[in-house]
């Protein structure tokens, strides 16, 4: 029979205290790995992006229509370089990575698919295969940005080779055609890519990509576009030129976030340069995006015909713009999430221990 000696009781008490002290950190990791916990409704959009057939079946079952069996089922979208990259950026912004998050398994599948699209032999090593020649450089820049964010968040050493060869081929691609971006999308993605290279093993390449983005603002067409003005302003702020926060907000946010997802993506990154008190002021406006979704939980933007791509872009905007504790008219942040945020957690930065996805 087991005798409860003082030594045994002391050992049991020590183990119990150790397990109890570790519990808050584990709870914090589970609590803050998905932005859907803090922003009710966003989780449905993320699930619709990654498993449309399953969520549509659940919706039909819940509605219990008489003709539910004959109702059409949602089909998974055709995977493209652009759609896969935006999905990765959306899941990343909402707290998932290769190592953690509510959607880390789908995140890994997208990373593997994106990795397989990169050429590893011949004269085009590092180039991503693309079926759209009209946006070749923009899509390759986007794919490199997504792969970099995936590698940076998890410090995944197996991806180092693909990030290195991808960045090298991207530089070659721009040099072959004039070494300057010719569209607002190219300049914007290059600027975001350059900023994302900070504090990484590829930080020495940041000046080259930033100079490409900065030089491209002179050649952008059309020059009278509001997006062009926003991109130029964002690059000036990154370059150290002082600007009032009100001007940054006015130029970098579009009039209608749903109608201009790329401009909204620019605004989300520009917003992260503002002090927290100014970011909080704009969260209610960003949060109204959820109220503009269609019945299928996605956004339908005329600016981006592919609704899955535009929805991924706007989901990334919500994730990048989220400010813990944001309140005010139009705010849809759950009260419980606000209480959690006051305890020091942030769905974007990760657990309190400093193990967040972005360093």
Query: What confidence tens digit (pLDDT) does each residue in 217-256 have?
Result: 776 655 568 888 899 899 999 988 888 888 888 889 988 8
pLDDT band for position 76 (50/70/90)? very low
| Res 325 pLDDT > 80 | no
Phi, psi of 216 (to 5 degrees): -70, -20
> CB neighbours of 2 closer than 8 A, spacing ≥ 6?
8
HSE of 252 in the Cβ direction (CA atoms, 13 Å)?
Answer: 28
Return the percentage of the chain with pLDDT > 70, whole number.
Answer: 69
In angstroms, how far is CA 345 from the centroid of its own chain?
A: 18
pLDDT band for position 210 (50/70/90)? very high
**∠ CA 300-304-308, rounded to 5°:** 60
What is d(CA 29, CA 224) in angstroms, rounded to the nearest whole number? 46
**∠ CA 291-310-216, rounded to 5°:** 125
What is d(CA 1, CA 182) in angstroms, rounded to the nearest whole number? 81
What is d(CA 351, CA 328) in angstroms, rounded to the nearest whole number? 25
Structure tokens at 320: 């990048």
Contact 119, 129 (CB under 8 A): yes
pLDDT band for position 348 (50/70/90)? very low
Cα–Cα distance list, 87 to 81, 96, 110, 305, 316 (Å):
10, 11, 8, 16, 8
What is d(CA 209, CA 46) in angstroms, rounded to the nearest whole number? 31
pLDDT band for position 160 (50/70/90)? very high
């Amino acid at each position: 029979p087991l005798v409860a000696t003082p030594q045994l009781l002391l050992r049991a008490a020590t183990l119990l205290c150790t397990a109890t002290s570790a519990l808050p950190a584990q709870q914090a990791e589970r609590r803050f790995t998905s932005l859907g916990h803090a922003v009710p409704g966003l989780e449905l959009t993320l699930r619709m992006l990654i498993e449309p057939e399953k969520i549509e079946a659940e919706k039909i079952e819940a509605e219990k229509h008489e003709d539910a069996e004959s109702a059409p089922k949602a089909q998974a979208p055709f995977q493209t370089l652009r759609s896969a990259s935006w999905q990765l950026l959306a899941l990343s912004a909402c707290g998932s990575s290769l190592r953690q998050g509510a959607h880390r398994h789908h995140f890994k599948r997208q990373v593997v698919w994106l990795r397989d699209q990169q050429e590893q032999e011949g004269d085009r090593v590092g180039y991503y295969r693309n079926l759209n020649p009209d946006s070749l450089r923009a899509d390759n820049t986007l794919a490199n940005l997504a792969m970099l964010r995936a590698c940076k968040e998890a410090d995944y050493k197996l991806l180092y080779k693909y990030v290195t060869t991808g960045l090298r081929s991207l530089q070659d691609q721009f040099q072959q055609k004039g070494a300057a971006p010719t569209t607002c999308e190219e300049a914007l993605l290059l600027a975001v890519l350059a900023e994302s290279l900070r504090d990484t093993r590829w930080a020495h390449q940041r000046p080259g990509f930033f100079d490409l983005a900065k030089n491209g603002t002179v050649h952008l067409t059309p020059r009278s576009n509001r997006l062009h003005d926003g991109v130029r302003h964002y690059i000036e702020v990154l370059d150290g030129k002082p600007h009032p926060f009100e001007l940054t907000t006015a130029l970098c946010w579009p009039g209608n976030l749903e109608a201009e997802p790329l401009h909204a993506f620019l605004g989300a990154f520009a917003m992260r340069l503002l002090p927290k008190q100014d970011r909080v002021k704009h969260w209610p406006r960003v949060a109204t995006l959820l109220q503009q979704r269609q019945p299928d939980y996605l956004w339908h933007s005329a600016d981006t015909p592919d609704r899955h791509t535009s929805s991924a872009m706007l989901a990334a905007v919500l994730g990048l713009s989220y400010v813990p504790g944001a309140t005010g008219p139009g705010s849809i942040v759950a009260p419980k999430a606000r209480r959690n945020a006051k305890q020091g957690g942030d769905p974007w930065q990760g657990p309190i221990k400093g193990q967040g996805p972005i360093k």
